[in-house]
Amino acid sequence: MTGATEESTFEGAPPQVTEGMTLSIPPTLDLFEEIDRLKAKLNAVILAHYYQEPDIQDIADFIGDSLALAQRAATTDASMIVFCGVHFMAETAKILNPGKQVLLPDLRAGCSLSDSCPPEDFGRFVQAHPDHLVMSYINCSAGVKALSDVICTSGNAERLLRQIPQEKPVLFAPDQHLGHYLMRKTGRELLLWPGTCMVHVLFSEHRLIDLKLQHPDALILAHPECQENLLRHADHVGSTTSLLDFIKTHPAKKFIIATESGIIHQMEKACPDKLFLPAPTDNGCACNVCPHMKLNTLEKVYLCMRDRRPEIVLPEALRLRALVPLERMLAMST
Ligand code: 13P
Ligand code: SF4
């Protein structure tokens, strides 16, 4: 587990929640009521990402993109953070607010971007480019954060990059597509780590064009983790919060959404009179669903609060090194 040693990843973690444990929940139990009761008893706050299943979004105290979730985790006065997202998000909460107990309903909830960048390999890459400033996307492990000068999210990456002196060479990791997007936006050369998001690379350009032909009045919204051939069709590119804000304020009635489909739940709640079409994937599979995010379920949220585990634990020396670029991000985002 990432929390156990500096180099480890979620893949090595023993499954903390099994089907057997899930079955130990009495079928008559009202999970919504129980989670509310435990929340009050434990003085817990439930933070959820937009890619969580609708029931989890509905019980959350706060839903946000990676930046807003990190900011909320850093400042909460609750005693416990129940983080309904993936491992790097919960780990970030622990790095920023170590006095809180941070629970992740399923400890196996990882991220293909984070997995693409093992700290040992990344350390060698950084060492080979000592003149570069290291800017890492928040979708990475604590070990990679500890090797970085500044962290960014999709919500602030462009703003932060523009604050770095133009003459300073920048190494960007781990998402090559977000990196390419930043290069096009700022006109600046970046040295890229070749990571990708397994969800955002699977949208199909030709199927998107077909869908747009069927719905010429629909606007296309895309997350910058998508590839360039997708992004070039987008009317708006941004973080999950940015996409949600866009549909709330734009007068259009129809949108094609090129990001994980979980966010459509909030879009439909915010604008029930508008239509949201998930962008199509290559083979018609449900590949626009993040399998890591969806490991969390309402049952596992209840179980983790009942049992106060699985918990994020980090070696203090690693936490302190990973804290430096995260605090720099928060300071540069204000
Ligand atoms: P946001 O920060 O835009 O919510 O993105 C998180 C993420 O994992 C996208 O795949
Ligand atoms: Fe990681 Fe992609 Fe899932 Fe986001 S959608 S958590 S980047 S695998």
The pLDDT value recorded for residue 172 is 99
Residues having CB closer than 6 A to ligand 1 are 65-66, 139, 153-155, 197, 223, 225, 239-240
Is the whole model's pTM more than 0.85, yes or no?
yes
Q: What integer best gives the mean pLDDT of the chain?
A: 93
Nearest ligand to the CA of 109 is: 2
The pLDDT value recorded for residue 15 is 40
Residues having CB closer than 6 A to ligand 2 are 86, 111-113, 139, 197-199, 225, 260, 290, 292-293
Task: Give me the DSSP letters along 202-266.
Answer: GB-HHHHHHHHHH-TTPEEEE-TTS-HHHHTT-SEE--HHHHHHHHHH---SEEEEES-TTHHHH
Mean pLDDT of 294-314: 98
Nearest ligand to the CA of 138 is: 1
The pLDDT value recorded for residue 282 is 81
Ligand 2 centroid to 216 CA: how many Å?
Answer: 29
Percent of the residues in the chain that have a pLDDT greater than 70, as a whole number:
93
Mutation test residue for ligand 2: of 200, 257, 288, the one with most atoms within 8 Å of CB: 200
CA-based torsion, 103, 87, 144, 183: positive or negative: negative
Mean pLDDT of 202-207: 96
Task: Give me the DSSP letters along 101-164.
Answer: EEE-S-TT---HHHHT--HHHHHHHHHT-TTSEEEEESSS-HHHHTT-SEEE-TTTHHHHHHTS
The pLDDT value recorded for residue 209 is 98
Report yes or no: 135 and 171 within 8 Å, Cβ to Cβ. yes
What is the pLDDT confidence band of residue 158, given thresholds at 50, 70 and 90? very high
Question: Which helix H or strand E contains 317, and what residues bound it?
Answer: helix 316-332
Ligand 2 centroid to 85 CA: how many Å?
Answer: 10
Mutation test residue for ligand 2: of 2, 89, 112, the one with most atoms within 8 Å of CB: 112
Distance (Å, whole) CA 251 – CA 28: 44
What is the pLDDT confidence band of residue 334, given thresholds at 50, 70 and 90? confident
Ligand 1 centroid to 30 CA: how many Å?
Answer: 31
Ligand 2: which atom is nearest the Cα of residue 292? 3
The pLDDT value recorded for residue 13 is 41
Ligand 2 centroid to 111 CA: how many Å?
Answer: 5
List pLDDT tens digits, range 42-88.
999 999 999 999 999 999 999 999 999 999 999 999 999 999 999 99
Nearest ligand to the CA of 153 is: 1
List pLDDT tens digits, range 13-50.
434 444 445 558 999 999 999 999 999 999 999 999 99
The pLDDT value recorded for residue 331 is 97
pLDDT at 3 over 60: no
Mean pLDDT of 207-233: 98
Task: Give me the DSSP letters along 46-105.
Answer: EEEETTS-HHHHHH-SEEE-HHHHHHHHHH---SEEEEES-HHHHHHHHHH-TTSEEE-S
The pLDDT value recorded for residue 21 is 53
pLDDT at 311 over 60: yes
> In this structure, which amino acid lies at residue 331?
A
Nearest ligand to the CA of 114 is: 2
Ligand 1: which atom is nearest the Cα of residue 238? 3
Report yes or no: 167 and 193 within 8 Å, Cβ to Cβ. no
The pLDDT value recorded for residue 6 is 36
List CB contacts of 65: < 8 A, sequence separation 6 or more. Answer: 49, 50, 153, 154, 155, 239, 240, 241, 242
Query: Around Cβ 304, how many Cβ atoms within 10 Å?
Result: 26
Distance (Å, whole) CA 162 – CA 164: 6
Percent of the residues in the chain that have a pLDDT greater than 90, as a whole number:
90
Distance (Å, whole) CA 279 – CA 261: 9
The pLDDT value recorded for residue 23 is 53
What structural domains and CATH numbers belong to the chain? Answer: 9-110+293-315 (3.40.50.10800), 113-192 (3.40.50.10800), 205-278 (3.40.50.10800)
Report yes or no: 79 and 42 within 8 Å, Cβ to Cβ. yes
Token code pair at residue 325: 């670029």
Report yes or no: 285 and 203 within 8 Å, Cβ to Cβ. no
Mean pLDDT of 194-200: 97
List pLDDT tens digits, range 256-266.
999 999 999 99
Ligand 1 centroid to 67 CA: how many Å?
Answer: 9
